[in-house]
Amino acid sequence: MRRRIGDGGQNLSARVALVTGASRGIGAAIALTLAEAGAAVAVNYRERAGDADAVVAAIKANGGRAIAIGADVSQAAAVTNMVEQVASALGPIDILVNNAGLAIVRGVDDLTEDDFDRTITVNLKSAFLCTQAVLPAMRARKWGRIVNISSGAARGAGAIGVHYNASKAGMEGLTRGYAARLVKEGITVNAVAPSLIETDMMGGRTDLARNIPLGRMGRAEEVAQAVAMVLGNSYMTG
């Protein structure tokens, strides 16, 4: 029996979700959570095919539908091809979670132009490309949910660098801009902004938990719960 999430017990069993950067960490947790709620899930990855296949296998073992799909979501042609493949295999995309991200730890004096460009391209441009690619199908059905995984670094110093701050602040601006323009078409756009989640991206920096009132790092599953809450709320946008 599929778990219901959100307001009024919404069920995602008729929905197709694409989660970018979903082979591990927060993305994998989100993919698994959406599958538990009944959605068919496309698990996007760039390099870690084996990890993505493991997420798909876990979903299928629980009776769900899922595919793993390799694509560099910072490249327009790759995104277009990915969205077409998902539609062919699972159906038109109803839910997009822009989770793919890059975290190059750099100090102000060590940051290079290449570091900055790569971070903006992977963290911010990818969200734009994927959103643009899924909008036609969402508009046709007058229903869509887009969730961008931001970070507390959008508003604070963060632990990665100013380039990462800029990419996540840009993502939140993108979120508000799309939300205002798409809400009348039945499409909500929101951002979930966790801080200090215990994933590979943090490189084992559990010492940073001293800055958190609760005294521990967050878990990927807790971020996934927040995403599920947003998906189940048809009023919340921007």
Q: What is the pLDDT of residue 186?
A: 97
pLDDT in tens, 49-108: 999 999 999 999 999 999 999 999 999 999 999 999 999 999 999 999 999 999 999 999
The pair of structure tokens assigned to 18 is: 């694409």
70 in any annotated domain: yes
pLDDT in tens, 151-193: 988 998 888 999 999 999 999 999 999 999 999 999 999 999 9
66 in any annotated domain: yes
Respond yes or no: is residue 178 known to be catalytic.
no
24 in any annotated domain: yes
For residue 37, what are the domain limits? 16-231
Whether 41 has a pLDDT exceeding 50, the answer reads yes
> In CATH, what number is assigned to the domain containing residue 79?
3.40.50.720
Total of domains in the chain: 1
Given the residues 45, 164, 178, 235, the one annotated as active site: 164
238 in any annotated domain: no
90 in any annotated domain: yes
58 in any annotated domain: yes
95 in any annotated domain: yes
Q: 23 CB contacts (<8 Å, ≥6 apart)?
A: 43, 44, 45, 48, 49, 51, 52, 55, 68
Return phi, psi of residue 189, to 5°.
-135, 120
205 in any annotated domain: yes
pLDDT in tens, 96-155: 999 999 999 999 999 999 999 999 999 999 999 999 999 999 999 999 999 999 998 899
Q: What is the pLDDT of residue 30?
A: 97
pLDDT band for position 7 (cuts 50, 70, 90): very low
Q: What is the pLDDT of residue 156?
A: 87
Give the predicted TM-score (pTM) of the model.
0.90
Question: How confident is the model over 15-36, as a mean pLDDT?
Answer: 97
